[in-house]
Amino acid sequence: MDKNINITLKVWRQRGPKEKGAFETYQLKDISQGTSFLEMLDILNEQLVNEGKEPVVFDHDCREGICGMCSLYIDGHPHGPDTEITTCQLHMRKFDEGATITIEPWRSAGFPVIRDLMVDRYAYDKIIQAGGFVSVNTGGIPDANAIPIPKKDADLAMDAAACIGCGACAAACKNGSAMLFVSAKVSQLALLPQGRIEAARRAKAMVAKMDELGFGNCTNTRACEAECPKAVSISNIARLNREFIKAKLQD
Ligand code: SF4
Ligand code: FES
């Protein structure tokens, strides 16, 4: 049964991208373990506002594990100590009475801090803009339904499409690599006939944009896969490498 717990929070506070940040410590009392992690931060912010202090800035939107906006490094893990969930799906029952919880923003050169716990993830949007779409005429909905696609390919494409673009992969990687994200976005289209037409151009353009934006190289540490809230497999990285090499050989 859920209990009420008292916790200590060590929260990263930073007034702006160029300001120096530091941890600040806060005490919260009587937090129900049924509270979600973001609701707990709402309670903290209410407390701070009541004390005449600046609330903590953090990103969120759907709070249902869908949009990819929530992005906290909690006790050394992107999205916290649980597996295959986003920060917004984390609940306080994962923490014990008297726990000290450390909360930081994503730590990655590709995601500069905007303020406190909010980072700029526009870099991922730029990678999508470079090629993560289908621009050829694929006909209407009945046409798509009329094209037979092997179940195995459809399943793999859907698994890759589960990526919500949260950025935990780059934040977890010691090299700051965005390969899991890029490979998921390349794979979800490369596996389907509608995406094959532009597959070579897409793989080259998205990899080039990722490099240009300063994301690091993949050295197969698998930290991205371990921390991904949507269990995106690194087998997608192998597929991206194959797509990229094939495209270069065609050149
Ligand atoms: S691959 Fe996983 S960790 Fe990376 S952006 Fe997609 S959902 Fe987030
Ligand atoms: S707020 Fe949308 S995934 Fe967490």
* 176 and 102 together in one domain: no
User: What value does the mean pLDDT take over residues 224-245?
Assistant: 98
Please say which residue of 114, 134, 155 terminates a domain: 114
DSSP string, 189-237: HHTSHHHHTTHHHHHHHHHHHHHHTT-B------HHHHH-TT---THHH
Please say which residue of 76, 97, 114 terminates a domain: 114
Residue 62: the pLDDT is 98
**Digit-coded pLDDT (tens) for 1-40:** 789 999 999 999 999 999 999 999 999 999 999 999 999 9
* 19 and 55 together in one domain: yes
Residue 235 neighbours by CB under 8 Å, 6+ apart: none
* 140 and 235 together in one domain: yes
Residue 114: the pLDDT is 97
Residue 1: the pLDDT is 77
* 228 and 139 together in one domain: yes
* 143 and 168 together in one domain: yes
Output the CA 1–ligand 1 centroid distance in Å. 32
Output the CA 75–ligand 2 centroid distance in Å. 19
Distance from CA of residue 44 to its chain's centroid?
24
Q: Give the integer Cα–Cα distance in Å for 89 and 105.
A: 17
* 108 and 130 together in one domain: no
* 71 and 159 together in one domain: no
Confidence band, pLDDT 50/70/90 cuts, at residue 70: very high
Output the CA 223–ligand 1 centroid distance in Å. 11
Domain holding 196: CATH number? Answer: 1.10.1060.10
Residue 145: the pLDDT is 86
User: What value does the mean pLDDT take over residues 226-233?
Assistant: 98
Number of structural domains in the chain: 2
* 58 and 142 together in one domain: no
Asked if 111 contacts 121 with a C-beta cutoff of 8 angstroms, the reply is yes
- pLDDT over 90 (residue 165): yes
Beta bridge partners of 113: 119
Minimum-distance ligand 2 atom for the alpha carbon of 89: 4
**Digit-coded pLDDT (tens) for 186-212:** 999 999 999 999 999 999 999 999 999
Minimum-distance ligand 2 atom for the alpha carbon of 166: 3
Average pLDDT, the chain: 96
Give the structural domain span for 71: 4-114
Q: Which residue, by CA, sits nearest to atom 2 of ligand 1?
A: 228
Residue 141: the pLDDT is 86
pTM here?
A: 0.95
Minimum-distance ligand 1 atom for the alpha carbon of 170: 4
Residue 65: the pLDDT is 97
* 133 and 244 together in one domain: yes
Q: Give the integer Cα–Cα distance in Å for 165 and 220.
A: 20
Output the CA 169–ligand 1 centroid distance in Å. 5
- pLDDT over 90 (residue 144): no
User: What value does the mean pLDDT take over residues 80-96?
Assistant: 97
* 139 and 246 together in one domain: yes
Minimum-distance ligand 1 atom for the alpha carbon of 168: 3
Residue 98: the pLDDT is 98
* 86 and 148 together in one domain: no
| Residue in this structure with the two tokens 């094939």, named with its chain if needed | 246
Q: Is 68 helix (H, G, I), strand (E, B) or coil?
A: coil
Domain holding 82: CATH number? Answer: 3.10.20.30
Please say which residue of 55, 81, 114 terminates a domain: 114
* 183 and 126 together in one domain: yes
Confidence band, pLDDT 50/70/90 cuts, at residue 47: very high
DSSP state for residue 101 in the 8-state scheme: E
Here the tokens at position 58 are 């953090």
Q: Give the integer Cα–Cα distance in Å for 114 and 151.
A: 43
User: What value does the mean pLDDT take over residues 76-95?
Assistant: 97
